[in-house]
Structure 1
Amino acid sequence: MRELILLRHAHAEPATTGQPDLDRPLSPEGLAEAEAAGKWLKDQGLTPDVVLCSPARRARETLEAVLAAIGYVEQRLEEGIYEATAGKLMEVLDRHRDTDRLMVVGHNPGFEKLVALMHTGQSTDYRGMPPASVAVLNLPADKLIEPGVASLTQFWWP
């Protein structure tokens, strides 16, 4: 088995006039949420082997707060995560299918639809992923990344 940990970025500040969406920082509430997510991951023993992170500032700041709790791990910015559909996210995951425990830090609605698609096989069967929430999916080591192949083993939000 291999594990996929999906971490939605925490609450961000609204964009100011002329500010690109990519540059929105975490709000004070979001920073506390991200710290809580890091503590939960540490308490569960869910330290990833590799982290792929959206280039959005709010995702990077969420990851920084999580790493402060769990310690340093290999991390890469992945442009394809920002504004990705569930299908695009599956392509990103497929490129990293040899990683035993992969964490991806990104956004909705792609994440909530990805969880539903990988777990039930239906992207319309999503239930939502609040800011700073964590979904943990188990996937058979010998299977490709495809609909219905994973089991949702844990779901947490602050």
Structure 2
Amino acid sequence: MVLRLILTRHAKSSWDDLRQSDHDRPLNKRGRASAQAVGDWMRDQSFVPQTILCSTAARTRETLALLALDAPVEFDEGLYHCSADTMRAKLTQQTAQAVLMVGHNPSIAELAERLAHELPRHPRFLDYPTCATTVLEFDADSWQEVQYGTGKIKAFVVPRELSERT
């Protein structure tokens, strides 16, 4: 069986209100447009999840809403600024064949890098800018079988590339 994991960093957040807590920061205008573009790209490429794990932060929730994907969602406070190992542990609890995780750097970038068998030759992969998205596939029967270094990167995109295509 082939398992698919989609890793999306939240879109660009607003810093307009410096009194606002980090957890409560919303997206800015560019971030909202980026999330919509990435959602359109996911649907166009048939990279659609069967289930979604999302941090509880306002910017991840808003990113997810603007991706406009139709799948059950689990909002998990434990995904807010956690480690890559914590993200992977949460993934191993999943049963769906295609999972989307919406989270934060540095953990989401580290998870993508550690899961990949071979890194893409993309200049932005290692810094994983806002709303960057990686699609990985694994030849495994369950998420518990997935090990670091075994994922095949099927796609990596940053929102700026999507706006340059139109």
Q: Could you tell me the TM-score, scaled by structure 1's length?
A: 0.89
Pairing 1:136–2:135 present: yes
2:122 corresponds in structure 1 to none
Query: Secondary structure of 1:42's match?
Result: helix
Identity %: 32
**CA–CA distance in structure 1, aligned partners of residues 147 and 118 of structure 2:** 8
1:103 corresponds in structure 2 to 100
> Unaligned 5+ residue runs, structure 1?
none
Distance change (3 Å), C-alpha of 1:15 and 1:52: farther
Cα deviation for residue 147 of structure 1 reads 1.3
Query: Secondary structure of 2:116's match?
Result: helix
Aligned length: 151
Mapping for residues 59-138 of structure 1, pairs under 5 Å:
59-67=60-68, 70=69, 72-96=70-94, 98-120=95-117, 127-138=126-137
**CA–CA distance in structure 2, aligned partners of residues 2 and 24 of structure 1:** 33
Cα deviation for residue 20 of structure 1 reads 1.3
In the alignment, residue 107 of structure 2 is paired with which amino acid? G
Cα deviation for residue 121 of structure 1 reads 8.9
**CA–CA distance in structure 2, aligned partners of residues 4 and 52 of structure 1:** 11
**CA–CA distance in structure 2, aligned partners of residues 140 and 120 of structure 1:** 12
Cα deviation for residue 15 of structure 1 reads 6.5
Q: Is the 8 Å Cα contact of residues 11 and 59 (structure 2) preserved in structure 1?
A: yes
CA RMSD, 1 decimal? 1.8
1:25 corresponds in structure 2 to 26
Q: Is the 8 Å Cα contact of residues 3 and 98 (structure 2) preserved in structure 1?
A: yes
Cα deviation for residue 114 of structure 1 reads 0.5
Q: Is the 8 Å Cα contact of residues 26 and 61 (structure 1) preserved in structure 2?
A: yes
